[in-house]
Each structure stands twice: as structure tokens, then as C-alpha cells.
Amino acid sequence: MAVEHHDPHRNGREYAHAAFQAAMDPSVEQRLWQQLQERLSQEFDAAQLLRPGAAVEMEVRRVAHEVVSASRKRAAMKGMRILADPERYEHVLVARALGMGYLAPFMDDPLIEEITINGSRVHVYRDGQKELVEHLVPDPAETLHLVKRAIGARGARLDESSPEVEVSLPDGSRLTAVIPPMTNVIRVTIRRFVVRAQRLEALVEFGMLERDPAAFCDAAVRAGVNVLVAGPMGSGKTTFLNCLGACIPPSERIISIEDTPELTLFKTHPDCVPLYGRTSNVEGVGAITYRKLIRTALRLRGTRIIVGEVRGPEALDMLVAMATGHEGSMGTIHSESPRGALDQLITFAQMAEEHLGREALSHMVGRRVELVIQLRLEDGRRRVASIFEVTGPGEGGATEGHDVWTTDDEGRLRWTGIRPRCMGKLERRGIDYSFPLIPRDRVHARRSDETAAHQ
């Protein structure tokens, strides 16, 4: 007889924590949970349950056993149906009291990239696709309890006086939560950094880009070309940056800058110093900004500076670093197009306290950023859409450039036939790279386009 293999990712129901499975009576389970909470509130204070030690855990298990046993005894005395599978109910109660509760299966699932909670509605993101977990309807109070437990060990707090929190969890996930009065119901986003590729070769295997442009990216990074990785949310910018960083020669010193540990270069590169920023505490002090980290990176004498995400005035410091000998520096930026990424970079640099004019910043960007690698996310599929060369500052604060690699009608990344200026760096450093041959019809089409452009 054929055996049907169970796929745990077929639908939202399979994501539900045991406490929410239909096999358990939800009303009975909730009644037991309320009884457990009442007992625990009498024996422990909130801080003990948020950071339970071995002794507290043992006591919670004992109380959960007593609650379930008492429920079974009362049912027997009244001639009612006795609770089946008591061990399972005990396990669920303990998980809700001490563990991550209904979040645990999501945090353990390597395919889930993001979890969002809006009051009693839970969504998960897998391969760029958003899915509603229909069977799961958590109580907002329990969600708040789980969040407080998760952030408590990180020295953070979440209450009416501090209604927003953003912390890195031990597994590298980024948890952001807001509660009233900042919003109407508790809202939580847990962004999980699911590492699926460490090198460009893996991205080729995943179909994110083709082998020829991957070889070009590898050669450009080894030669010290300054690169900006652009793309919308969820397009794989951090993963791609991680793979580019793996191309840096082991003889160089890397300084990586992030607020949430997602880059893994320090695990594989022999000389990598990770620096992490943080927000201020509830008293408004203790913040470590990206600007401070970049300036620290300059003092640490790194040859390459990698910024996990450029999103503010640190853009100016990154440009200064590129101008002071840190060739081959890289960063990511949120943008839908290469030109949009360059414009955004200028806007961020304008936010710096130096208040440089847009024309001056455009000149810096045009001279220091050499390549923009544009990513896209379509139907859950991550792809490199183009590799754009920055050729210099233009008129009116604009930045000039053109595609060196672009997506053709078949959705594949193809060389446009333009030999980028950064090839001079490759030649000076003795890095061998040859562009693929272009079919004759594409050469003719490109020459026709160039002729029309000059007319």
C-alpha cells in the first residue's frame, strides 16, 4: 500500500502550534491556560516568568501537571468526559508559559523568512510569498507576553511609556513590535535571516543570476570596485552582499557595519571585524549610530568597509571612506532602480550634519560609486535585474550611467556589449576576465540603438 508523505508546509493549518490544533479542545485548553495563569501569578512575579531559571521551570511544570490532573478529577466526579491525552495538554501549557508558544514552530521552520502579527492575525512569508495562518488566532495578551519574554533577555522593554521596540534575537532574527498608544493593537514583525547562500556560485545554482555575470561580479569585487546593491524589500540584498563579500581576497581587512547581525563574513574571512549599532535605551542614551561605526571602522584600518544597509546620514561617511583609499567598499540600499538608488544615496547624504549641497554630493557619488547591482522580486523569485555602471556626475545634480548587464526578453541577464571603465582596475590588479561573445544580431541591434541615441 502506498504511503502518502506528509508535507508540513501545505497550508496555514500545519503551521499552527500544538496549542491551537483542532485535535485539542480549544475551550478546554483555554480554560486550563487561565487556571495555570492564576496559579502562576500567585506563586511567581512577572519577571521570574519572563526569565525563568531551572527551578522556576520545574515549578511551572509541576503546577501545569496539577492543573490538568485537577481538571480530570473534577470531570470524573461529575460524570463528565475525562480529558484525553493529559500529557499533551501539560506540554502545551508549559510551552505557553515558558517557551515561545505559538511562535516556536515558525522560528524553527528554516523556510520561513518573516512573521507578522496584527492583533489576532498571523502571516508568514516563505520564498517571498505571504500566507495567512488561518487556523491560528492568538490572544493579543499572549503575544505581548511572548514578545516581552523574547526581548527581556536583550535588556529591552515594551510598555506604555516605551511602546516600540526593535531587538536582535539570539538566532539573528530582528524583532520589531509596537503597542498602543502608538498603534491600535499589538503589531509584531520578526524578520528571520535565512542563510541559503554564502557564495556567488550558490546564487547561480538558485537561478538568481547567470554564470557569466557572476564571474564579472567576482572579478569586480576582487579588483576593488565600489559596489552598491539595490532592491526592494525581500529581494535578497543582504544575502547578495554576503556573497559579494566572500569574493574579497583573504589578505584584506574587512569592517562590516550592521544593526542586526546578518552578514556572516566574520565566520569565513580570516580578517573581518563586525561592528553593530544599537538604538538608545529608555533613558535616551547609549545609542551607537552607523555614522559612529563608520568612523570607528576608519580607525580600525580596514581596507574594505561593508555597510549592511545605507539608510541615513552615514551615506556621507561611506562616500568619504570610498574617497580615502577604501576601494571595494560595498553597501545595500532600498530602491526599485539603479538611478533611484543613486538619488536615494544623495538624499541620505544630505541628511548629514555637514549639510553638503546636492550638486557636490552628486559629484561624490558619480566619482566614487562604480557599480549598482539591481535586484528584483517577482512572484516570489529573486533575480539580478541589471548591473549598472556609474560613469560620473551629470547636469543638474543628476548622476550618469548605463547598464552593463541587463535582463533580456527571456528574463536572463545578458551583457549589453559595453566595456565598463572598471575593467581598468581589473587589468591593473592582474585579474583576468573576458566578457562573453555577443551574437551578431544583438551587436547590430546595439549599434542601431547607439546611432539613434546620437541623432
Position 259 scores a pLDDT of 81
Please compute the mean of the pLDDT values over residues 169-179 and round it to a whole number.
Answer: 87
Say yes or no to pLDDT of 1 above 50: no
* β-bridge pairing 330-334 and 304-307: parallel
Three cell numbers, residue 15: 503551521
pLDDT tens figures, 272-307: 999 988 777 666 677 888 888 888 988 898 899 999
Position 439 scores a pLDDT of 55
Reported as half-sphere exposure (CB side, CA atoms, 13 A), residue 112 has a value of 25
Give percent above pLDDT 70 in the chain.
86
Q: Is 335 helix (H, G, I), strand (E, B) or coil?
A: coil
Query: Is the Cβ–Cβ distance between 282 and 161 less than 8 Å?
Result: yes
Three cell numbers, residue 159: 510598555
Place of cell 503589531: 187
Which has the higher per-residue pLDDT, 429 or 321?
A: 429
Say yes or no to pLDDT of 173 above 60: yes
Instruction: Tell me how long the chain is.
Output: 455
pLDDT tens figures, 356-385: 998 899 999 999 999 999 999 887 788 999
Please compute the mean of the pLDDT values over residues 379-406 and round it to a whole number.
Answer: 89
Dihedrals phi, psi of 131, to nearest 5 degrees: -130, 130
Position 25 scores a pLDDT of 67
* β-bridge pairing 164-168 and 129-132: unpaired
Please compute the mean of the pLDDT values over residues 318-338 and round it to a whole number.
Answer: 89
Position 330 scores a pLDDT of 94
Please compute the mean of the pLDDT values over residues 154-174 and round it to a whole number.
Answer: 84
Position 337 scores a pLDDT of 95
Residue 301, Ramachandran bin (φ over 0: left; ψ between -120 and 50: alpha; else beta): left
Q: Amino acid identity of 339?
A: R
Domains and CATH numbers, the chain: 7-99 (no CATH), 102-194 (3.30.450.90), 200-454 (3.40.50.300)
Per the prediction, the chain carries an average pLDDT of: 84
Please compute the mean of the pLDDT values over residues 227-256 and round it to a whole number.
Answer: 93
| Distance from C-alpha of 378 to C-alpha of 123, rounded to nearest angstrom | 19
Handedness of CA 369, 308, 176, 282 (dihedral sign): negative
For residue 17, name the pLDDT band (cuts at 50, 70, 90).
very low
Say yes or no to pLDDT of 15 above 80: no
Say yes or no to pLDDT of 270 above 90: yes
Residue 372: exposed, middle, or buried by beta-carbon count in 10 A (0-12, 13-18, 19+)? buried
Nearest to 108 by CA among 190, 42, 30: 190
Position 27 scores a pLDDT of 74
pLDDT tens figures, 55-97: 888 888 899 899 989 888 887 887 777 777 888 888 888 877 7
Give percent above pLDDT 90 in the chain.
42
For residue 442, name the pLDDT band (cuts at 50, 70, 90).
low
Range of lowest pLDDT (23-32, 54-63, 183-192): 23-32
H helix count then E strand count, the chain: 16, 15
**Neighbour tally for 411: CB within 10 Å:** 11
Out of 151-160, 308-317, 418-427, give the one with best mean pLDDT: 418-427
Which pTM was predicted?
0.74
Omega within 30 of 0 (cis) for the link into 181: yes
Nearest to 37 by CA among 103, 100, 97, 115: 97
